[in-house]
Amino acid sequence: MLEVRGLHKSFGPLHVLKGVDLVVRPGEVSFLIGPSGGGKSTLIRCVNFLETPSAGEITFDGRSLCREEGNIFHIAPERTLRAARSEMPMVFQHFNLFSHRTVLENVIEGPVMVKRQRRDEAIAIAEKLLAEVGLADKHDRYPDELSGGQKQRVAIARALAMQPKLILFDEPTSALDPELVSGILDTIRGLAERGMTLIVVSHEMGFARRLADQVHFISGGTIVESGPPERIFDAPDNPRLASFIRSIL
Ligand code: ADP
Ligand code: MG
């Protein structure tokens, strides 16, 4: 589904991603863990071109988004990037809903504006998705009238409305009150059980241990160690990973 090779990203003089390799197979759940500032958000933002990488290769669902040829860094045309981005929506820590639009309008925005779906069709799908995430009675509410957990459910319904091939989660529960966390984790688990391909940046280590197929430890702009959760959490090789795990348990 996704293949990243030798990915670099600099912000001016700040070299943030220093050659990241990452492979995600269809239906796989990949967790990215690691210390703050290590490059987790930058990596998933580069994957869907919310940020433009500086060098390296990204192939998504068989389509090259960027690649190196000789010394030249090629980036796919904007319409290719836009299509790819619509098939791998991101769910953010702070929800990023349109505050002046209702719940229903938030969910149909992408399908109508980006995918050119008919409005009545988009509404029918949105109503079904909102019911699935337990918000059947909130269509006409505005984000400010919802709890954090409900806002995050709207964001997840909005991502699903794009008929995604991959969903990117960037710390989806970090801004939630503690009692709202498990509901969102359950929703994410439901997506995984239905076979959706997921990349999840999270500090919920128990959740990662139960749900992940692969865990990638990112520190200092590289993937320092990758493996199945049992190995990453119970038998880490790398000393930086071992000390990170000790610090969060
Ligand atoms: P993480 O998500 O692992 O906490 P980030 O990817 O957010 O890490 O950040 C990695 C580094 O990149 C940090 O030093 C951060 O300050 C820097 N960074 C991230 N985004 C930008 C940006 N838009 N401009 C400049 N520096 C940035
Ligand atoms: Mg981050």
Instruction: List, for residues 207-247, the tens digit of each pLDDT value.
Output: 999 999 999 999 999 999 999 999 999 999 999 999 999 99
Ligand nearest the Cα of residue 222 is 1
What mean pLDDT do residues 155-177 have? 97
Distance CA 106, CA 99 (A): 9
ipTM over 0.90: yes
Under 8 Å between Cβ of 88 and 48: yes
What residues are neighbours of ligand 2 (ion), with CB under 5 Å?
40-41
For residues 106 and 138, the answer to whether their CB atoms sit within 8 Å is no
For residue 192, give the nearest of 48, 61, 33, 30 by alpha carbon: 30
**pLDDT (tens digit per residue) in 121-165:** 999 999 999 999 999 999 999 999 999 999 999 999 999 999 999
Task: Write down the pLDDT at residue 249.
Answer: 72
- Give the chain's radius of gyration (CA, Å): 18
- Decide if pLDDT at 56 tops 90: yes
The pTM of the full predicted model, rounded to 2 decimals, is 0.96
- Residue 42 in contact with ligand 1 by CB distance below 6 A: yes
Quote the ligand 1 centre to 170 CA distance (angstroms).
13
pLDDT for the residue numbered 202:
95
Instruction: Report the length, in residues, of the chain.
Output: 249
Query: Would the CB of 36 count as within 6 Å of ligand 1?
Result: yes
